[in-house]
Chain A
């Protein structure tokens, strides 16, 4: 025992808070209901879950009634004292705020669930009732730098840039549970939201008799399924409607890799196309002009045997005026009786119709036949021509046949180019459409 001037005192030092903190139940001074506490220690506001009155602990320890509020039966996505696993830790819902913003005559309500963990502090789980999106808020470890980037207002924090989405006045409509700060139904705060989906920055400024209060919250989009899994809720969560400010744009995911791939594939296409075109002989193996009534025959060489090639045959019939011409081309291999054949048609029609002259058809036509085995062939061309339905060929009509082997086929070059360009283009297009849907709810919608 240690004797002192005031008498005997404790034999061992009194250490505060060494015992485990217990969960308190206190009686509501307004309705007497037993309020089970969630937050340990003192808080600034307690809204009685039975009668709805706002209570505040005073210095003396007594719970004073700040506001007698009649409890409202309000829909809530989650209930007080529910516990869930988020961010790798357990959290308990200790307070619920119902808030809303009124913009363009429309009311946008949401709920803010105050999550508590005695070792980690507080988080905010937001449920936007109007579009059924969820988000998690964490107090920001600092303050962002507000600036402009070209014409847009942005907030910079850490290595990220957030674009200004909207300014609004948020009002508290109703509260339930406990809060470590003063909150009353009717409180309003000016909010500025900045987004970099799926992340966001929310800046809230509240002015009251104590002065100005500014709060920075780091927001992150949460998938409804993740919230349901965190709180182990049965069934499926309500499905999201539209594109919320923080909802990630799935068309933009992996965008950098897509762009890089496009660059690499474009270069590859260029190289392969040049190599393909350069290694085509594209040699004219036959070219002759004759009167339309005359057939043509020749021995032609379609390349060293053993390969397969593409052959281009061109027919030019001149002069053609309101007439048609048709050439039947036969390629007979030297070592076989099975021939390849193709027909080419050329025509030219013109006239005057109600004062306007018109013309159609082409006196020149080409056909490409592919998969032709290389080797020596006998070429045979027979032609016919007529004027309208008259099978008699026009006088003086001649035709030219030109045969080329191993030609460059542009269609083979264009197809990969089309694929390489269209895929990133479509991804970009769908991404832009989704972004349009996101931003039409912002302060920057084209119509407003």
Chain B
């Protein structure tokens, strides 16, 4: 089985929270505060993409600039998922035939990770599950939109089958995010509001994708703050008082 899955199953022994490791950007020398097992970091000062392998830090060039697609979220914002606080640590912007969407890499206070998927104003917090539940599923091209199947005891309908490309990134990501890299995924939905994404990473022929389970949610339910401001629009909640200093 070649090719790494795009999103690594998180190694809980190296929590994402806590003191960042002290590394420096090879391009401009600015501090590059990698946290936990994050692999990629986009330097805030010069915009270069830095990848960490073990203790080594190397440059992979500049990821194409993030396009403003009107997201109300900003890097560093905080929220909570059913009471567990999290922080937006990084963003990956993805392009496919029909447009752009954002995948926000989030770190919870208990050290676990997840993804906040944002597309067309809809949000879902996706958490990884044991890939063994995907045993017996077809490869990526075997999925047809509209068909139904059962994963981990849940009946689901396939709603989107796509091959997409990384377009831009900011902050930190837990995998090597090379600009232009393609990846394969499938979205499924359930009749009780279940949201599932199967991620084959850069290699659609992988027999076992990484499954992510979640539910659709709203900015208000997640209590995200601060939110981006838009001229002529009132934000849904008043700004929360700042919790500790964040430069």
Which single member of A9, A21, A210 contacts B97 (CB below 8 Å)? Answer: A210
A143 contacts chain B at the CB level, 8 A cutoff: yes
- For B68, the closest partner residue in chain A by CB is A41
Is B121 in contact with A42, judged by CB distance below 8 angstroms? no
Is A213 in contact with B193, judged by CB distance below 8 angstroms? no
Is B229 in contact with A14, judged by CB distance below 8 angstroms? no
Interface centre among A42, A89, A116 (most CB of B within 10 A): A42
Is A40 in contact with B74, judged by CB distance below 8 angstroms? no
Alpha-carbon distance A18/B231, docked complex (angstroms): 13
Alpha-carbon distance A15/B75, docked complex (angstroms): 8
Is A143 in contact with B156, judged by CB distance below 8 angstroms? yes
Which single member of A22, A39, A142 contacts B193 (CB below 8 Å)? Answer: A142
B53 contacts chain A at the CB level, 8 A cutoff: no
Is B189 in contact with A181, judged by CB distance below 8 angstroms? no
Question: Which residues on the B side are within 8 Å of A143 (C-beta)?
Answer: 156-157, 159, 188-191
Type the 1/0 row for A19-40, where 1 means its CB is closer than 8 Å to any CB of B.
0111100000000000000011
B27 contacts chain A at the CB level, 8 A cutoff: yes
Question: Which residues on the A side are within 8 Å of B192 (C-beta)?
Answer: 142, 158
Is B234 in contact with A90, judged by CB distance below 8 angstroms? yes
Which single member of A16, A116, A216 contacts B66 (CB below 8 Å)? Answer: A16
Which single member of A4, A23, A145 contacts B155 (CB below 8 Å)? Answer: A145
Is B236 in contact with A3, judged by CB distance below 8 angstroms? no
Is A214 in contact with B146, judged by CB distance below 8 angstroms? yes
Q: Provided the pairs A17-B68, A41-B69 are in contact, do residues A141 and B216 lie with their beta carbons within 8 angstroms?
A: yes
Which single member of B97, B99, B215 contacts A211 (CB below 8 Å)? Answer: B97
Is A4 in contact with B227, judged by CB distance below 8 angstroms? no
B46 contacts chain A at the CB level, 8 A cutoff: yes
B9 contacts chain A at the CB level, 8 A cutoff: no
Question: Which residues on the A side are within 8 Å of B26 (C-beta)?
Answer: 5
Is A20 in contact with B195, judged by CB distance below 8 angstroms? no
Question: Which residues on the B side are within 8 Å of A44 (C-beta)?
Answer: 98-99
Question: Which residues on the A side are within 8 Å of B148 (C-beta)?
Answer: 145
What's the nearest-Cβ distance from chain A to residue B111, in Å? 25
Is B191 in contact with A6, judged by CB distance below 8 angstroms? no
Interface centre among A118, A210, A211, A216 (most CB of B within 10 A): A118
Type the 1/0 row for B53-86, where 1 means its CB is closer than 8 Å to any CB of A.
0000000000000111111101110000000000
Is B228 in contact with A17, judged by CB distance below 8 angstroms? yes
Is A142 in contact with B44, judged by CB distance below 8 angstroms? no
Question: Which residues on the A side are within 8 Å of B44 (C-beta)?
Answer: 13-15
Alpha-carbon distance A157/B193, docked complex (angstroms): 8
Is A120 in contact with B193, judged by CB distance below 8 angstroms? no
What's the nearest-Cβ distance from chain A to residue B74, in Å? 6
A73 contacts chain B at the CB level, 8 A cutoff: no
User: Among residues 108 to 167 in chain A, which have CB atoms less than 8 Å away from a CB atom of chain B?
Assistant: 116-122, 139-145, 156-158
Which single member of A15, A120, A212, A216 contacts B74 (CB below 8 Å)? Answer: A15
Alpha-carbon distance A216/B67, docked complex (angstroms): 27
A416 contacts chain B at the CB level, 8 A cutoff: no
Question: Which residues on the A side are within 8 Å of B227 (C-beta)?
Answer: 119
User: Among residues 135 to 191 in chain B, which have CB atoms less than 8 Å away from a CB atom of chain A?
Assistant: 144-146, 148, 155-157, 159-162, 170, 188-191
Alpha-carbon distance A43/B100, docked complex (angstroms): 9
A2 contacts chain B at the CB level, 8 A cutoff: yes
- For B167, the closest partner residue in chain A by CB is A59
Question: Which residues on the B side are within 8 Å of A139 (C-beta)?
Answer: 120, 122
Question: Which residues on the A side are within 8 Å of B146 (C-beta)?
Answer: 205, 212, 214
Question: Which residues on the B side are within 8 Å of A4 (C-beta)?
Answer: 25, 27-30, 46
Is A3 in contact with B29, judged by CB distance below 8 angstroms? yes
- For B229, the closest partner residue in chain A by CB is A20
Is B69 in contact with A42, judged by CB distance below 8 angstroms? yes
A62 contacts chain B at the CB level, 8 A cutoff: no
What's the nearest-Cβ distance from chain A to residue B171, in Å? 10
Is A142 in contact with B234, judged by CB distance below 8 angstroms? no
Question: Which residues on the B side are within 8 Å of A18 (C-beta)?
Answer: 74
Which single member of B121, B157, B218, B231 contacts A21 (CB below 8 Å)? Answer: B231
Q: Provided the pairs A40-B68, A139-B122, A142-B191 are in contact, do residues A16 and B229 lie with their beta carbons within 8 angstroms?
A: no
What's the nearest-Cβ distance from chain B to residue A241, in Å? 33
Question: Which residues on the B side are within 8 Å of A212 (C-beta)?
Answer: 144-146
What's the nearest-Cβ distance from chain A to residue B82, in Å? 16
Is B45 in contact with A141, judged by CB distance below 8 angstroms? no
Question: Which residues on the A side are within 8 Å of B247 (C-beta)?
Answer: 13
Interface centre among B27, B76, B190, B228 (most CB of A within 10 A): B228
Question: Which residues on the B side are within 8 Å of A214 (C-beta)?
Answer: 145-146, 159-160
Alpha-carbon distance A15/B226, docked complex (angstroms): 13
B241 contacts chain A at the CB level, 8 A cutoff: no
Is B155 in contact with A119, judged by CB distance below 8 angstroms? no
B194 contacts chain A at the CB level, 8 A cutoff: yes
Is A9 in contact with B46, judged by CB distance below 8 angstroms? yes
Alpha-carbon distance A214/B99, docked complex (angstroms): 15
What's the nearest-Cβ distance from chain B to residue A1, in Å? 10
A388 contacts chain B at the CB level, 8 A cutoff: no
Is B28 in contact with A142, judged by CB distance below 8 angstroms? no
What's the nearest-Cβ distance from chain A to residue B41, in Å? 12
Chain B residues packing against A (C-beta within 8 Å): 25-30, 44-47, 66-72, 74-76, 97-100, 120-122, 144-146, 148, 155-157, 159-162, 170, 188-195, 215-216, 218-219, 227-236, 247
8 new A-B pairs (CB below 8 Å) besides A6-B28, A145-B157, A214-B146? A10-B45, A14-B44, A16-B74, A41-B71, A117-B121, A144-B157, A212-B144, A216-B189
Can you offer 14 A-B residue contacts whose CB atoms are under 8 A? Answer: A6-B46, A10-B45, A16-B74, A17-B228, A18-B74, A43-B99, A116-B121, A119-B72, A120-B121, A180-B99, A210-B97, A211-B161, A212-B145, A214-B159
- Return the 7 tightest CB-CB contacts between A and B, nearest first: A121-B121, A41-B70, A4-B28, A13-B44, A143-B189, A143-B157, A40-B70
